[in-house]
């Protein structure tokens, strides 16, 4: 039965890879919506994969969220790597500390024997604050490092669920609804066609930087995220998607 279950999951992964045009898909057992510890499985599976893929000199940008946090927590220690930097993909304040990109970057850097760069700025800024910050030497030193990421590791969220988690205003929520936002990743909101319909004003990684990176790893599970995963897969190149059976089955039903 164990072998049959594994074969079933690799078949699911293969079908999903075809349907989403994502080169590598890994499907872990369960559904994170139903059993929260499935998130740990996604994290550990992605963590092992990431550790093997890292090379000397890599700049790894990570987002926040429970799934990327699970990855950092369970990633095995790897020694012998040189000149590794782990950076938060964007400013993050407002989430539980354990799920903030800064915290996750620090934890992962320790596992890889690298150093982390912190970015202590809010996730959402006014135009004026943004302009002022861009002139700040602290930011001017860090931003180019973040934007030169060679590896990007990010979570995917349902658009409205993430907007609420970030305490979006009623106006923002209305805008996202009107523009039919389905997915959120690193502060960008996407519609079902993978078009950016809204981006939070903050400092950090842009889509062009993601496209330039060598390896993009997305981690997201739960049937409720199927629509969001499908939208993001159309927006930019994802090299590896680590998800769960719940999301995978729902995604294949949608196609």
Query: Mask of contacts with ligand BG6, 111-150, x by CB under 6 A?
Result: ----------------------------------------
Question: What minimum distance in Å lies between the beta carbon of 56 and ligand BG6?
Answer: 27
Q: Is 154 in the site for ligand BG6 (CB under 6 A)?
A: yes
Q: Is 176 in the site for ligand BG6 (CB under 6 A)?
A: no
Question: What minimum distance in Å lies between the beta carbon of 165 and ligand BG6?
Answer: 8
Q: How far apart are CA 79 and CA 111, in angstroms?
A: 8
Judge contact between 157 and 225, C-beta under 8 A.
Answer: yes
Q: How far apart are CA 136 and CA 141, in angstroms?
A: 9
Of all helices (H) and strands (E), which one includes residue 67? helix 66-74
Closest residue by Cα to residue 86 from 155, 149, 154, 156: 149
Please tell me the number of Cα atoms within 13 Å of 68 on its side-chain side: 32
Out of 47, 64, 91, 204, name the contact with ligand BG6 by CB under 6 A. Answer: 64
Closest residue by Cα to residue 61 from 209, 225, 233: 209
Of 193-212, binders to ligand BG6 (CB under 6 A) are none
Of 6-45, binders to ligand BG6 (CB under 6 A) are none
Q: Is 153 in the site for ligand BG6 (CB under 6 A)?
A: no
Sites of contact with ligand BG6 (CB under 6 A): 63-67, 154-157, 162, 184-186
């Amino acid at each position: 039965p164990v072998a049959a279950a594994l074969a079933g999951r690799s078949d699911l992964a293969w079908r999903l890879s075809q349907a989403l045009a994502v080169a590598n898909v890994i499907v872990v057992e369960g559904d994170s919506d139903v059993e929260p510890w499935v998130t740990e499985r996604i994290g550990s599976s992605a963590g092992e994969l990431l550790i093997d893929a890292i090379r000397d000199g890599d700049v790894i940008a990570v987002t926040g969220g429970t799934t990327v946090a699970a990855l950092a927590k369970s990633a095995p220690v790897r020694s012998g790597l040189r000149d590794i930097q782990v950076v938060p993909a964007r400013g993050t304040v407002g989430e539980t500390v354990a799920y903030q990109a800064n915290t996750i970057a620090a934890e992962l850097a320790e596992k890889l024997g690298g150093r982390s760069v912190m970015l202590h700025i809010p996730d959402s800024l006014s135009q004026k604050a943004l302009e002022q910050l861009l002139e700040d030497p602290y930011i001017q030193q860090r931003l180019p490092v973040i934007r030169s990421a060679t590896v990007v590791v990010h979570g995917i969220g349902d658009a409205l669920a993430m907007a609420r988690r970030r305490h979006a205003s009623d106006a923002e929520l209305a805008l996202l609804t009107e523009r039919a936002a389905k997915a959120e990743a690193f502060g960008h909101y996407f519609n079902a066609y993978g078009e950016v319909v809204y981006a939070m004003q903050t400092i950090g990684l842009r889509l062009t930087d993601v496209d330039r990176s060598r390896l993009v790893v997305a981690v997201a599970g739960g049937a409720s995220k199927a629509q969001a995963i499908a939208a993001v897969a159309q927006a930019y190149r994802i090299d590896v998607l680590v998800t769960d059976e719940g999301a995978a089955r729902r995604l294949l039903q949608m196609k």
